[in-house]
């Protein structure tokens, strides 16, 4: 089973990455492995709405999205992990998602959705925010839903944590790390 993950936080070893590592641990202890893309360290141009993908559903820009397109097309499980930034996902995550407009064209205009594969396609959204309110997680979930459905992931689970702000504060959360570990195990369960 092929599992890929997108880290949307620019803060290395921050709350999002700590949660993602725990998910990955659950995945690995279930006998699978996950490849993580550190979006902040990749060369990804924001979508230019140039119309270059309108006819063939292929983006005309050749940057690090090439490896991401390939990974998205062949993955069975896809994880999107992001902090809440201004009531949504981070810019790093959003830029990657916007560049999936060519996959949107492929699915909805050319009627060629990404094949389901042997294990079906499932998603997991992880979000962590500093505020008490979960508005940012709700907004992020709406964006993630559009992303997952576009890349032909019909269902996804959302794990969101509020009131977690300082670097590493997630480690003090009473259940978060355990929930993340269990979510990783559940994601790859057949």
Ligand X SMILES: Cc1cc2nc3c(=O)[nH]c(=O)nc-3n(C[C@H](O)[C@H](O)[C@H](O)COP(=O)(O)O)c2cc1C
140 binds ligand X (CB under 6 A): no
Least CB distance from residue 17 to ligand X, whole Å? 6
The number of helix segments (H) and strand segments (E) in the chain equals 6, 5
Stretch that binds ligand X, among 24-32, 72-80, 151-159, 161-169 (CB under 6 A): 161-169
Q: Does position 128 bind ligand X by CB under 6 A?
A: yes
Stretches 56-64, 85-93, 101-109, 147-155: which one binds ligand X (CB under 6 A)?
Answer: 85-93
Confirm or reject binding of residue 184 to ligand X (CB under 6 A): no
CB of 123 to ligand X, least distance (A): 19
Nearest alpha-carbon partner for 159 in 33, 34, 65, 18: 18
Element holding 81 (H helix, E strand)? strand 77-83
By beta-carbon distance, which residue lies closest to ligand X? 14
Report, in Å, the least distance between residue 46 CB and ligand X.
Answer: 17
Least separation, in Å, of the C-beta of 74 and ligand X? 27
The token duo for 177 is 């790390």
Q: Exposed (0-12), middle (13-18) or buried (19+): which is 138, by Cβ within 10 Å? A: middle
Work out whether 55 is an interface residue with ligand X (CB under 6 A).
no
> Which CB, 123 or 136, lies closer to ligand X?
136
Choosing from 1, 3, 6, 14, the residue that interacts with ligand X (CB under 6 A) is 14
Nearest of 100, 104, 96, 98 to residue 43 by alpha carbon: 96
**Residue 49 within binding range of ligand X, rule CB under 6 A:** no
Contacts of residues 107-116 at CB distance under 8 Å and 24 or more positions apart, as own/partner, are 107/150, 107/152, 109/54, 109/57, 110/56, 110/57, 112/57, 113/152, 114/72, 114/73, 114/151, 114/152, 115/152, 116/152
Residues that bind ligand X (CB under 6 A): 9, 11, 14-16, 83-87, 128-131, 136, 164-165, 167
């Amino acid at each position: 089973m092929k599992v890929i993950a997108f880290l949307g936080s620019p803060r290395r070893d921050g709350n999002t990455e700590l949660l993602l590592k725990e998910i990955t641990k659950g995945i690995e202890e279930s006998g699978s492995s996950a490849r993580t893309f550190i979006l902040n360290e990749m060369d990804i141009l924001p979508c230019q709405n140039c119309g270059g993908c309108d006819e063939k559903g292929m983006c005309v820009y050749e940057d690090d999205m090439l490896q991401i397109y390939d990974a998205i097309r062949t993955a069975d499980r896809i994880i999107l992990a992001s902090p809440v930034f201004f009531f949504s996902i981070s810019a790093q995550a959003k830029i990657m998602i916007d560049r999936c407009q060519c996959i949107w064209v492929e699915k909805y205009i050319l009627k060629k959705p990404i094949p389901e594969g042997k294990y079906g396609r499932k998603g997991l959204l992880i979000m962590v925010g500093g505020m008490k309110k979960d508005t940012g997680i709700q907004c992020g979930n709406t964006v993630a839903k559009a992303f997952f459905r576009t890349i032909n992931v019909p269902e996804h689970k959302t794990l969101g944590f509020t009131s977690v702000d300082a670097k590493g504060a997630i480690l003090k959360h009473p259940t978060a790390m355990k929930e993340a570990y269990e979510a990783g195990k559940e994601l790859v369960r057949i």
